[in-house]
Structure 1
C-alpha cells in the first residue's frame, strides 16, 4: 500500500484546496504563528520576571518577618491614641521564648553617624545587629568577616563597613585592622561588606557601618 505522505496526488489536492481558500488558509496559519509566538513571549517573560525577583531578594530570607514600633492606633490602659512606643530587650526576649519555631532572630538598631579616618570624613548610618543577622539578611563579604557571637557577647568595639564607606574613607588602602572614629568612639574594622539585593533594612549596607548590638547599647544608650 502506498504511503499517503509520499503520494503526489494527495499533495496536489491539498495545494489546490488551500489555493481555493486563501483567506481561511492565511487566518489559520496566522493563528498558529501568533499562538506559538505569544506562548514563547509569555514563557520568556515569566522566566525573566522570576530572575529579576530572585535578584532583588538575593541574600534576604523570604520566610522572614520584620517587627517595628509605630504610633498606637487606639487607646490602651489609660494611654491615648497616637502614642509612640519603642521595642525593648524584654520585648525581644519574650518573642524569642514564646515563638519556638523561629530559626534565627536579630534585633536591629540604627542611627546616623559621622565617620572619620585621618583627614577624611563621611556621613553614614551606623547599625547595631546581633550575630544571627546574616541568617536573615546575608551580606556580601568583600574582605574580612562579619559580626560574630564573640563580638556580641564581649561588646567588642569592632565594625564592618560598607563598600561605599570603605571607598570614601580609605580609597585603595586596605581598611582591615584600621581604626575609624564613629561619633567620637573608635572601632577596629574587621570586614568590608555590601549587598546584592534591592531589599533594605534601615538602609543600604553599602553605605553603612555595622557594629555589635550590645556595643551600640553601651556606646549610644
Structure 2
C-alpha cells in the first residue's frame, strides 16, 4: 500500500454474471470438485474435508461454512455475504477477486494462502491465521482482527481502514508503506526492523514506545 489513495483502494471487485444457478443443499465436496456460476444460500456446508476444490463466479449468502478442511482451495470471483467460516482450514488457498461481507471468520486458517484483489468488509476475524500468506491488493475495512496472525506474511498494496488489530502477530512481516494510522490497538507483536517505513498516527507513537521500552518526553 505504498502511495495509493485511501479513497480509491486498488482492489478489483468480483465479477459475477447477471444470472446464477440456484444450488440447493445439502452440498458434499470431494477432491478437485468444481462449482461455477452458482448462488448458494442459507445452507450448511460443515466439517468436510477435500483438496483442490474450486469455486468460480459463486455467491454464498448466509451459508455456514464452519470447520471445513479444504486444502489448496481455489476461489475466483466469489462473494461471501453474511457467512460463517469460523475455524475453517483453507491452507494454501488461491483467492482472486473475492469479497467477504459481514462474515464471521474467527480462527479461519489462511496460512500460506495467496490473496489477490480481496475485500474484507465488516468481518469478525479474531484469531484469523494469515501466517506466511501473500497478500496483494487487499482491503480490510471495519474489521475486528484481534489476535490475528500475520507472522512473516507478505503485504503489498494492503489497505487497513478502521481495523481493530489489538494483539495481532506481525513479527517477521515487512510493514514498509503499510498505513496503520486508522487501526486500533494497545499492543502488537512486531519486530523493530520490520517497522521501517510503516505509517502510524501521532497517538500511536506512545504505543510503539511502550512496546520497545522507550520513554516519550513531553
TM above 0.5: no
Q: Which has the higher contact order (CA 8 A, sep 6+)?
A: 1
Normalized per residue, which structure has more helix? 1
More strand by share: 2
Query: Based on CA coordinates, which of the two structures has the bigger radius of gyration?
Result: 1
TM-score normalised by the chain length of structure 1: 0.20
